[in-house]
Structure 1
């Protein structure tokens, strides 16, 4: 089942409904069995078990059975290929053979269960050739590799990244792939090799596209909140507020450059899809980030350049920069909104996006409790929102660049 889950069946059965492999259910059973084997490895059949331990184990077994039964029933109810009319309940058959002897019934049940294991391995594993597929020793069974892609380096990079703890900050995101939702743990838990590289790089880049879209959406909301406050409390633009906005935007370039290095690294190692229509394509994200970086590099947003020698503000320069800034922001907003409209076919994001009014109201309440005059309160509000924006950018840089392991890949590149 794991081997089949590595096949990108979307391109094989295009336009058809393709059932997903039941790997999650098998993993559930396997993990339970492995846990029980570990816990009972030193169990002595000749000794008398402690009553309390036996009761605990029986309780755990009942809990496992209840959850397992629910998973199996869901499989049958949601399946369009299983014949549910076939009777698979052996309870009646076993009871007829037991002659009222419970010990014999247990023995008979276990015998049939062991026979079931042996037959399943023989018929549905060995006889289907999967033993050869999973451990190929002849050339015709070894998966082909794209000669245009340095797959060895791509595998090495993904295996470095998947072990980092930054991925936990994306636990609120599931990707939607072939009609099935995949958690971050599901995407990252398996080591990357030649067998699963193609599908895993799709999953990883789709996950990053979802997360980076969320980041850029919240980035825009926070910029909108500051701009709103710069126009709210005065009849004309509050230039002190605009200067503070530019200063915060200037600081945010560190975050954007970190995200940009992530995308460039993935591109370098062929770990992304170049097709714009693909759910895992990062081209739009790259364009948004590069547009803001380009805006910063070609315009001076440092606040030291907004005052003359006498300490007066350079209003003309501020207005000129504001016009350029708003134009780039507007183009970004239109493109972002179009992409957000299709987000639910790629992602399921549990956390809501930032809300401009909610953030302003929360910070407004904290400013209102101070003893400052109204004019000073309004200044305090936009300073608080700018600080909120600065903290957001710093956290994103840490969680989505440093803590994902991309700084390690940078060191790898330098070496």
Structure 2
């Protein structure tokens, strides 16, 4: 370790030889043989030095975050799981470490990092970046340097890599290939579709997750954990919104098909349509599985908001469409009355399934994902003027011809909607590269 050049950046530190004397030595002297220090004393001194430096890392974090918080007054709630942390645990931790590692009595290198960053921001007038974003980028650079100088360049990386071959084990997520995940995220976020998601803000666990935040900088080993969870959360939110809109279409069509004017061909049109939209559901299912496998997810949140829960909801719908036995082809030989009754029974069966699966679970899912802006604002959903902003269709006002016209239009729109979803939220986002 003493041969690593990382120790040179701490040559400004003066360390007390011991607590009973005022004699001070330099970090370089700690490694010199014959300085009167035994091995245990050298290790103790090195630990004090590292704790002191790591405490400064915490202090730099506090200094920057304090200014960032002042720029975030619009986020009052967040301002309060962050300000309490800064003024409480973080400040307390910093003071405790400084108190317990008091052998370092003088540091002749002034700490003007925050002042220098603020001066740089004012001097260069970053018109396209607010102060909080600028300081966040400064912190990213600072911690990248910290990882290099206070970990890698001190020899710890080599020590730990060597220890991995023995009994020492680093806690890792064994089911995730991190390098593969990093490359994958960096590849898909280069696709054109992500730009259209920059305006989206999703609230989750007291965080604001946005498309802009995901795209702000490339994925690396330092931010991989956050980036992958943000991407997963955003995609789940989008897919939940897709199913929510899909359900609205289906619900309106079912209300019309279940009217007194129900015709066999009208019901056939509906089931032909949902079979065509099943491609969208299959793609969403495969994507959720791939995200879980290739990027991974911590299932610390409830079943209503993790990948498995959303996967289960969409899978139930897809299975019902595929295997619910809604084929009308073998009924052509029956009388019109018989076909009409069977068609109505199919509509009731599918309607009961939709109500059971979606009415409660989907509302909970939609609330859990909690998008703060309209996720599907770039996909136009057409509605007839007299159906707009209604929870259900009052079909008693319409003639048979109007009902046929509306159902046909809604079915075409539902197919168009599913095709737009596949393009906008699968192909244009590069998610097809997951499968």
TM-score tier, shorter chain, comes to: 0.5 to 0.7
**Residues 306 and 189 of structure 1: CA distance in aligned 2, closer, same or farther (over 3 Å):** farther
Q: CA deviation at 1:401?
A: 1.8
Tell me what 1:369 maps to. Answer: none
Give the number of aligned pairs.
303
- Among residues 250, 254, 269, which one is paired with 1:223 in the alignment? 250
Where in structure 1 are there 5+ consecutive unaligned residues?
6-13, 34-60, 76-119, 365-372, 411-415
- Cα offset for 1:207? 0.7
1:280-291 matches, cutoff 5 A: 281-291=306-316
Instruction: Map Cα deviations across residues 202-242 of structure 1 (whole Å, 9 max, x no partner).
Output: 1111111111111111011111121222245xx35344322
Partners of 1:134 and 1:159 lie apart in 2 by: 26
The residue correspondences of 1:83-232 to structure 2 (distance < 5 A) are 129=146, 131-132=148-149, 138-139=156-157, 145-177=172-204, 179-231=206-258
Query: Which residue number in structure 2 is paired with residue 298 of structure 1?
Result: 323
Query: Contact 1:173–1:348 at 8 Å: present in 2 too?
Result: yes
Return the offset for 1:387: 0.8
Q: CA deviation at 1:71?
A: 4.9
Q: 2:362 aligns with which of 336, 355, 372?
A: 336
Residue 263 (structure 1) aligned with residue 295 (structure 2): no
**1:58 aligns to what?**
none
Describe how 1:53-72 pairs up with structure 2 within 5 A. Answer: 64=125, 71=131
Following TM superposition, by how much is the alpha carbon of 1:18 offset from its aligned partner in structure 2, in angstroms? 3.8
Give the deviation of 1:138 after TM superposition. 3.1
- TM-score when normalising by structure 1: 0.60
Q: CA RMSD in A?
A: 4.5
Q: Partners in 1 of 2:341 and 2:257 — Cα distance?
A: 17
Kindly state the Cα deviation for residue 302 of structure 1 after the two structures are TM-superposed.
5.0
Gaps of 5+ in 2: 1-56, 63-80, 91-113, 162-169, 389-397
**Conservation of the 8 A alpha-carbon contact between 1:173 and 1:183:** yes
Q: What per-residue deviation string (whole Å, max 9, x for no partner) do you get for residues 305-333 of structure 1?
A: 45238898734543443233122211222
Q: TM-score, normalised by structure 2?
A: 0.57
- Per the TM alignment, residue 174 of structure 1 is displaced from its structure 2 partner at its CA by 1.0
* Counterpart contact for 2:287–2:434, Cα < 8 Å: no
Separation (CA, whole Å) in 1 of partners of 2:85 and 2:204: 11
In the TM superposition, residue 67 of structure 1 has moved relative to its aligned partner by 8.1
* SS of alignment partner, residue 176 of structure 1: strand
**1:74-107: per-residue Cα shift (whole Å, max 9, x none)?**
x9xxxxxxxxxxxxxxxxxxxxxxxxxxxxxxxx
The worse-fitting range, judged by mean Cα deviation, of 308-317 and 202-211 is 308-317
> Alpha-carbon deviation of 1:4?
7.3
Of 323, 329, 341, the match for 2:348: 323
Residue 289 of structure 1 deviates from its aligned partner by 0.9
Asked whether 1:383 is paired with 2:414, we answer: no
How big is each residue's C-alpha offset from its partner over 1:386-409, in whole Å with a ceiling of 9 and x where there is no partner?
111110011001122222223223
Q: Are residues 62 and 268 of structure 1, via their aligned partners in 2, closer, same or farther at CA, if it must alter by over 3 Å?
A: closer
Alpha-carbon shift at residue 16 of structure 1 (Å): 9.0
Please list the CA deviations of residues 287-310 of structure 1 after superposition, one character each: whole Å capped at 9, or x if unmatched. 111001111221344553452388
